[in-house]
Amino acid sequence: MGFLTGLFWLAATIIVALGAGWVFRQAAIAISPKGVAKELRTAPLTASFGMLMILLYIIAAVFAPVIAPFPETQVVGSEYQVWDDVHLLGTDNLGRDMLSRLIYAARNTVGIAFVTTALAFILGSVLGLLAATVGGWLDQVLSRAVDVLMAIPALIFALLLLTIIGTSIINMILVIALIDSTRVFRLARAVAMNIVVMDYVEAAKLRGEGLWRLITREILPNAMAPLVAEFGLRFCFVFLTISALSFLGLGIQPPTADWGSMVKDNATLISFGDITPLLPAGAIALLTVSVNFVVDWQLHRASGLKE
Amino acid sequence: MSHIWSMILQRLALGLLTLFIVSLIIFGATELLPGDFAQEILGQSATPETVKALREKLGLDQPMHIRYLGWLADILRGDFGESLANGQPVADLIGKRLGNTLSLAIYAAAIAVPLSLALGILAALFRNSFFDRFANASALTSISFPEFFVAYILIFLMAGRDGLFPSMASFRTDPSFTEYLYRAFLPALTLTLVVTAHMMRMTRAAIINLLASPYIEMARLKGMNPMRVIVKHALPNALAPIINVVALNLAYLITGVVVVEVVFVYPGLGQLMVDSVAARDMPVVQGVALIFAAAYVLLNLTADVLATLSNPRLVHGR
Amino acid sequence: MSDKDVLLTMKGLRIEGRSDEQWNEIVKGVDLTLHRGEVLGLIGESGAGKSTIGLAAMGFARDGCRISGGEIHFDGIDMRNASETEKRGLRGKRIAYVAQSAAASFNPAHKLIDQYSEAPVQHGVMKKSEAEGDAKDLYGRMQLPDPDGIGYRYPHQVSGGQLQRAMTAMAMACRPDLIIFDEPTTALDVTTQIEVLSAIRDIVEQFDTAAIYITHDLAVVAQMADKIKVLLKGEEVEEADTDSMLSSPKEDYTKSLWAVRSHARPEQPPATEGTPVVSVRNVTAAYGTIDVLHDVSFDIHAKRTVAVVGESGSGKSTTARVITGLLPPRRGEILFNGEALPPNYKNRSRDQLRQAQMIYQMADTALNPKLRLRDLIGRPAQMYLGLNGKALEDRVRDLLHLIELEPDDYIDRLPSELSGGQKQRIGIARALAAEPQFIICDEVTSALDQLVAEGILKLLDKLQGEFNLAYMFITHDLATVKAIADEVVVMKEGKVVEKGGKSEMFQPPHDPYTELLLSSVPEMDPNWLTELLKARAAAGG
């Protein structure tokens, strides 16, 4: 019986999600200019749903103080209150309002993940494009260095570095940005390598074009599509790593609201059959799923696979 | 044939070199610290005497290369130093837990690898069918889930009040094999769910990538049935990417265990590492990191060698 | 022939392909009748739908294509309504396929003989051991070296021409009634092509197999086919038996195809006086430690076209890389108007770079897909001549005029909005924009259809007269050499075999390799292959 009702709710959720995606897609097509609308038409329902969710997260992050009923860190009730009219999702292990913290965490967790990804991306793609274009010893040195850094598993390396320099938000951003930039470097270099061997790049070199122009005019525009998709994927990885670190108590530190540590702090409730601690975890999952759906659509389009 | 062996020897040498450099990094990372590590650990209130004592204990009064060589020699003899937190030998702390972590990873891999390969091949065979789309969407979804989310959902569903499985994988005594399988089921299932999706997607992609090749069209034009086309013609050529993705995911299991062990209070290396990071217990962190990194390097090395051996162009020279 | 002998009929065949999210018709109502033992040549330029029709004979449509109308009957079986299982039972057993690139169509993971025996064993025609014995017999008949052993090699261990013969043998494995040959010699060098053509022709005759022979090369199809069908953009132009088709084509399109071969410009006498624009002096060059060019020397004068001819691996493109400075030579030097150029392009002055331009074989990869024509053509003028604003725009428009494209229409297009021939014209305009003295043309017409290629050659010819250009024309195609060259340099394995004026080169006596190369170029005469093989057997025997 339990299994069947579970299945029913799962199916219902999927249908509602896809329906919301469909409505959102129609609305977006209606208000977008022609070129964008044509692109949007190719979006599958999963990707439409993803775009809708990303939009909602951005709204939550930007307008957190307006939306949240209570302040982020203030104790407003007793510990572990159940869901009621005042505290819609109850209170946490210290008596802070769960819903408000969930909303504020969108700002903290997503913001930090975004900054980290951007850092990793700038570092990794600049070096990757340079290595591929210049080649020679620069490429050798950078590639070997990245090989070695990548020979240590990411989470373990992050833990090691955090032990040494201590856990703080800035340290975590720097450490994860450094580690993830190696992955971006690999991809950017591989993509650029495929472009560098093209005749038009050879023609530009023979014309006497400088390095800056080679990269910005000949290589970067043609590398954009895979790089943008990689940004999405990288964001998911960074976001999951930060959440994992916070969950382990080594990432974003209290009292800042953050989904990973919220799961950790309230985990005991789960064994009592209360799903509240699953909500922040679900919030993480929903955002990464959404980004992945959109990236998947873009990758599929970029690869031109018509199958 | 000699060509391929020299190639493999090269890879092995490169793997050893990587391990060496990794050990250098793990050891040298402490040197990154601007101040004095001993001072940092003990805090500002520590007396100069205690700082000095700790410095001597850590060997910080000696030049770096001497310390590194000593450290490396000790490790090669199985001596990982002593824990700063409780003074126990790190090797003892690691010993038992290493076995636990390995068996958990193997448990998960034993389910995940065959399952994901089979699902990947089926998805490629029935590409664009409902099954394929469903498998793809669920794979994408489960890749996006944090490990602890998967773990807690499983606990919520299967280890509630009248749970089928225990949510805590504590073994006070040596469990029998079946007892172990039962007790470690949820952690293993969590890990399986986390890595299966990725392996399945990549297996499918590796096969589908090849389906546009002229030799696949040739096989179809020879009247071969779809199953044979996939298994006999596409799969052997997709082995290298598949081996790589399996290695990548087995390596991922290694990092995945850290979080999963914490959720299920599983007595493995991951738990130890997290506790030691919080306590800034450097020798333990270094030791565990070294073991994780070594496993990671060895896995990738194995994959590299196997992928080389799966390429007839390399195995059979011109 | 009576109706009982009819093997394959197609009536009003329509096939659609999917692009830009909609179905477009690529074969528009083609009829076809093939009798037992008959060879039909399907000929046409790219986009004519020849391969698509060939595959449709097997009831097969590639991914993204579908058979949308008409009838296909193979020996009384309705191929459009047959089940997949039924069609699989025919494929490889009664209808076989030989693909264009044997190197890509053999599975790299299996030995040749295992791939040979797959169809007979899976279709239940022979046991594995019988199939292997049979394979060795057929390898022998296909004149493959070491027929008993060659099957135990992997595809990458066998040369291209041999692979193509092994693939024909594989197609014969179940002794099919019909074989589809899809451009089987297009990827091969001319000297290799002869061997494959004669082997295919023999074996088809021996087993009295019917065949559809697909190609874009008229001279090749003349050797192989009993009758020829000409296709254009998915529609039939005309069909007739080979002799009458060659001697008296009816339709204008067919006549124009035939006429391409006769274009040739008047030869200018070799220039011996004055300083050559480019002089390659005793160049030896290497990739890594392996020398790929040995002591190569030749001169190119203003207003002259020097064709550098050779098969793949002869070093003709490497010579171009040395001249442009991408591959500094180990020994020797490049003189430009009598002055030595720095070996590496990075050390050359901007003016030295400007004077020597290059046009590439694949216009697709030679133009940055993200730049508009305005920028693609304008950039050299901006860089070298300092043009900007209105002056630059005027210059770009002039150049577009020169290459016969309407400026208003084209100046803001992206390369993806051009046809293959137009892209190649942009490549020419970009080279001209630098106002060079010398242009290297690297196989500029080999990726194009004959009629389009003809247009490009004429344009290059016109521009040479207008701007006193010196051309180095790299090609493997002797028809192109005849059409455009003043002087010819024949290369083989990194060495210059022979050089001289065009008329000298096409008159005996020749160097033996030049002789082999010249005699291997197929001619339109249906008896050419037979005569050639006879002559060679006589000379060799």
Examine the pLDDT at B201 and tell me if it is beyond 80: yes
Examine the pLDDT at B243 and tell me if it is beyond 60: yes
C neighbours by CB contacts (3+ pairs under 8 Å) = A, B
The distance of Cα A228 from the centroid of its chain, to the nearest Å, equals: 12
Summary mean pLDDT of chain B = 83
Quick: pLDDT tens for C450-471. 888 888 988 998 999 899 999 9
Residue range C422-433: average pLDDT? 94
- Cβ of residue A305 closer than 8 Å to a chain C Cβ: no
Examine the pLDDT at C79 and tell me if it is beyond 50: yes
- Cβ of residue A203 closer than 8 Å to a chain C Cβ: yes
Taking a contact as any Cβ pair under 8 Å apart, which residues of chain A between 82 and 141 contact chain C? none
A neighbours by CB contacts (3+ pairs under 8 Å) = B, C
Taking a contact as any Cβ pair under 8 Å apart, which residues of chain B between 12 and 31 contact chain A? 18, 21-22, 25-26, 29-30
Which chain C residue shows the shortest CA-CA distance from B218?
Answer: C105
Examine the pLDDT at A304 and tell me if it is beyond 60: no
Q: What is the ipTM of this complex?
A: 0.83
Which residues of B fall within a CB distance of 8 Å from C131?
none
Residue range C107-136: average pLDDT? 93
pLDDT band at residue B35 using 50, 70 and 90 as cut-offs: low
Who wins on pLDDT, C188 or C169? C169
Residues B193-227, buried b or exposed e (16+ Cβ, 10 A)?
Answer: bbbbbbbbbbbbbbbbbbbebbbbbbbbbbbbeee
pLDDT of residue C522: 84
pLDDT band at residue C261 using 50, 70 and 90 as cut-offs: low
Nearest Cβ partner for B222 among C92, C101, C154: C92
pLDDT of residue A253: 80
Taking a contact as any Cβ pair under 8 Å apart, which residues of chain C between 68 and 107 contact chain B? 87-93, 96-97, 99-101, 104-107
Q: What is the DSSP string of A268-280?
A: GGGGGT--TTHHH
Interface A–B counts its CB contacts (< 8 A) at: 147
Interface B–C counts its CB contacts (< 8 A) at: 77
Out of A271-275, C74-78, C492-496, pick the least confident: A271-275
Which residues of A fall within a CB distance of 8 Å from B21?
148, 151
Examine the pLDDT at A270 and tell me if it is beyond 80: no
For residue C235, give the H/E element and its range.
Answer: strand C235-241
Residue range B143-171: average pLDDT? 77
Residue range C387-415: average pLDDT? 92
Examine the pLDDT at A204 and tell me if it is beyond 60: yes
Residue range B94-106: average pLDDT? 87
Q: Structure tokens of B188?
A: 């293993």
pTM of the model: 0.84
- Cβ of residue B127 closer than 8 Å to a chain A Cβ: yes
Examine the pLDDT at A283 and tell me if it is beyond 60: yes
Examine the pLDDT at B34 and tell me if it is beyond 70: no
- Cβ of residue B127 closer than 8 Å to a chain C Cβ: no
pLDDT band at residue A184 using 50, 70 and 90 as cut-offs: very high
Examine the pLDDT at C505 and tell me if it is beyond 50: yes
pLDDT of residue A306: 35
Q: Report CB contact under 8 Å: C60, B220.
A: yes
CA C306/CA C316 separation, integer angstroms: 12
Contact A200, A286 (CB under 8 A): no
Who wins on pLDDT, B11 or C282? C282
Sheet hosting strand C39-43, strand order edge to edge: C95-98, C178-182, C210-215, C39-43, C227-232, C235-241
Which residues of C fall within a CB distance of 8 Å from A212?
none
Which chain C residue shows the shortest CA-CA distance from B212?
Answer: C63
Amino acid present at A180:
D
B neighbours by CB contacts (3+ pairs under 8 Å) = A, C
Which chain B residue shows the shortest CA-CA distance from C158?
Answer: B318
Quick: pLDDT tens for A208-237. 999 999 999 999 999 888 888 889 889 998
Which residues of A fall within a CB distance of 8 Å from B265?
none
Quick: pLDDT tens for A118-131. 999 999 999 999 99
- Cβ of residue A217 closer than 8 Å to a chain C Cβ: yes
Quick: pLDDT tens for C22-45. 888 889 989 999 999 899 999 988
Alpha helices in A106-135 (DSSP H): 111-134
Q: Structure tokens of B196?
A: 């299966």
Quick: pLDDT tens for B58-89. 666 777 778 788 888 888 888 888 887 777 88
Alpha-carbon Rg for chain A in angstroms:
23
pLDDT of residue A307: 33
Interface A–C counts its CB contacts (< 8 A) at: 48
Out of A82-86, C161-165, C222-226, C382-386, pick the least confident: A82-86
- Best A206, A215, A300 member to test C by mutation, with max C CBs in 10 Å, is A206
Examine the pLDDT at B255 and tell me if it is beyond 90: no
CA A229/CA A237 separation, integer angstroms: 13
C377 CA: distance to closest CA in chain A (Å): 12
Out of B63-67, C221-225, C249-253, pick the least confident: B63-67
Taking a contact as any Cβ pair under 8 Å apart, which residues of chain B between 191 and 230 contact chain A? 208, 211
Handedness of CA C259, C260, C261, C265 (dihedral sign): positive
Who wins on pLDDT, B156 or C270? B156
